[in-house]
Amino acid sequence: MNKSDHLRSYWMPFTNNRAFKKNPKLFASAKGVYYQTPRGRMILDGTSGMWCCNAGHGRTRIVEAIQKAAAVLDYAPGFQLGHPAAFEAANRLLNIAPDGFGHVFFTNSGSESVDTALKIARAYQQMRGQKRRSVLVGRERDYHGAGFGGISVGGITSNQQYFGPLLPQTDHLRHTHDLSRNAFTKGLPDHGTEFADDLNRLVERHGAKAIAAVIVEPIAGSTGGLIPPAGYLRRLREICDEHDILLIFDEVITGFGRLGAPFAADFFGVMPDMITLAKGLTSGTVPMGAVLVNDKIHDAFMKGPEHGIEFMHGYTTSGHPLACAAMIATLQTYEKEDLFAQVNELSPYWEQALHSLQELPHIIDIRNLGLIGAIELEPRRNASGSRGQDAFNECFEHNLLIRVTGDTIALSPPFIITIEQIDKMIDRLRSVLKNLD
């Protein structure tokens, strides 16, 4: 079998398959903050894999926990049955959850977490007699996974264009990206709190008693690290409270320390009604997701007949034993190594290092918060996204892994990165960007 035949069978996700298979980029192993290619090149991981390997790669505690779990209990059904690790995992997660969150629903990915939260939101409104409340509001440029619910409330049009009709009764807030006022802001932008008032427009359109929930990413990661304006999320919470609308934070990216706090809800001091999670939940080692649900929502489901199933939803591998073992070990790693505090220690240096690139050609914005960074490049005429793709390819040749979304470079290194490794990352970026046409 030649190389092209070997690669032919796998239809890769979110990938230009034809281009990849002509020039494949393959990883064979990973340790710490580096990937290794089959030919032995060490690639500095500037993205925590895909926003998920927060604790770094090949962490012994997590690896050994997964190995032990596989030998003891490979699978246990989760419908009407359980296993101890699922309950331990839920309790450990609630130990770091914001106050008021008393329950966890396990899924297998961020996409499943979002679809679960949307179903809970609509069902909750039914449970409390608000049968008209079925509209689900997302936001332009937010990403909420690849399920039909997620792409319906998501605001990335390229993810929707071939799959219509989408979930009915959905609508979108305007996005908060405002280069004219906020370009090259360090931390939270000063301008744009008023964008939250766009929710009032949707309340007027649909009626105050028609909207079930609003879902937003605290930081829109997949469209280029869009940092919310100061006060924006708090204002959104206020409007939701005024109209009795549920607020959902999609923290698949921001959860588990990316901003130096357990969750963005803690960082911003704004409490939603549900939080969707995945990625850093297991540091990317085993697929797993979760929805944190407040007591008010959960308890509304517990008032029906005692012999009935309260919520007709779930997955064959919800709370899978290997995933639970990985999650418990990951949370232990975060705690024992104080990795969230390490993010806070690194963040000022990270900010300074990123913004040192400001004067390079074609850069029109740099954004940062916690260990998140975004470098927005000016699009080429009639070739939007091509400059970003060239940056991705050149960085890989310079032994650096970045992510690009359109013409924006997104960075999210593992929390165990050192100052010296940040310098190395920035130096490699500088070498690429100064020569990018």
Tens digits of residue pLDDT in 177-187? 999 999 999 99
Binned at pLDDT 50, 70 and 90, residue 305 comes out as confident
Residues 408 and 404: their CA atoms lie apart, in Å, by 5
- Categorize the per-residue pLDDT at 251 as very low, low, confident or very high, splitting at 50, 70 and 90: very high
Give the pLDDT confidence of 335-371 residue by residue, as tens digits. Answer: 999 999 999 999 999 999 999 999 999 999 999 999 9
Residue 67 to residue 63: CA distance in whole angstroms: 6
Contact 291, 275 (CB under 8 A): yes
DSSP letters spanning 360-398: STTEEEEEEETTEEEEEEPPBTTBTTHHHHHHHHHHHHT
C-alpha closest to that of 263 among 215, 231, 227, 217: 217
Rounded CA-CA distance 100/275 in Å is 12
pLDDT of 49-71, one tens digit each? 999 999 999 999 999 999 999 99
- At 124-137, the pLDDT tens digits run 999 999 999 999 99
Q: Is the pLDDT of residue 1 over 70?
A: no
- Decide: pTM greater than 0.85: yes
Position 212 scores a pLDDT of: 98
> What's the rounded mean pLDDT across residues 288-296?
97
C-beta separation of 436 from 364 below 8 A? no
pLDDT band of residue 4 (cuts 50, 70, 90) is low
- Taken in order 403, 405, 406, 409, is the CA torsion positive or negative? negative
Could you read off the pLDDT of 369-423 as tens digits, one per residue? 999 999 999 999 999 999 999 999 999 999 999 999 999 999 999 999 999 999 9
CATH class given for the domain over 3-55+337-433: alpha beta
Burial class of residue 76 (count of CB atoms within 10 Å of its CB; 0-12, 13-18, 19+): middle
Between the CA of residue 282 and those of 11, 91, 161, 331, 419, what are the distances in Å? 25, 15, 32, 8, 25
User: Does 247 have pLDDT greater than 80?
Assistant: yes
Size (the chain), residues? 437
DSSP, residue by residue, 38-93: TT--EEEESSHHHHT-TT-BS-HHHHHHHHHHHHH-S----SS---HHHHHHHHHH
Which pLDDT band, with edges at 50, 70 and 90, does 257 fall under? very high
* Sequence ranges of the domains in the chain: 3-55+337-433, 63-336
The tokens of 354 are what? 């990123």
pLDDT above 60 (res 164): yes
8 A C-beta contact, residue 21 and residue 8: yes
Residue 424: how many CB atoms within 10 A of its CB?
17
In angstroms, what CA-CA distances link 209 with 130, 133, 197, 232, 246?
A: 8, 6, 17, 23, 12
Confidence of residue 198 (pLDDT cuts 50, 70, 90): very high
pLDDT over 70 at 225, yes or no: yes
pLDDT at 186: 98
The pLDDT value given to residue 304:
82
* pLDDT reported for residue 3: 55
Q: Quick one: tokens of 114? A: 């979002």
Q: Which of 328, 322, 315, 329 is nearest to 106 (CA)?
A: 315
- What is residue 306's predicted lDDT score, i.e. its pLDDT? 87
Q: Which has the closest alpha carbon to 405: 381, 387, 429, 423?
A: 387
Q: Could you identify the residue written with the tokens 């949307």? A: 118
CB contact at 8 A, 377 and 395: no
Whether the CB-CB separation of 144 and 150 falls below 8 Å is answered with yes
Specify the 3-state DSSP secondary structure of 5: helix
Going from the C-alpha of 65 to that of each of 71, 109, 250, 325, 328, the distances in angstroms are: 10, 20, 28, 6, 8
For 26, residues 6+ apart whose C-beta sits below 8 A from its C-beta are 37, 38
Q: Report in angstroms the alpha-carbon separations of 280 from 268, 288, 377.
A: 19, 9, 28
Quick one: tokens of 327?
A: 């999650």
* Crossing angle of the two packed helices 339-355 and 321-336, in degrees rounded to 10: 70
Q: How far apart are the first and last CA of the chain?
A: 39
The pLDDT assigned to 5 comes to 80
Tokens of 53: 């390997």
Domain 63-336, classified CATH 3.30.310.50, yes or no: no
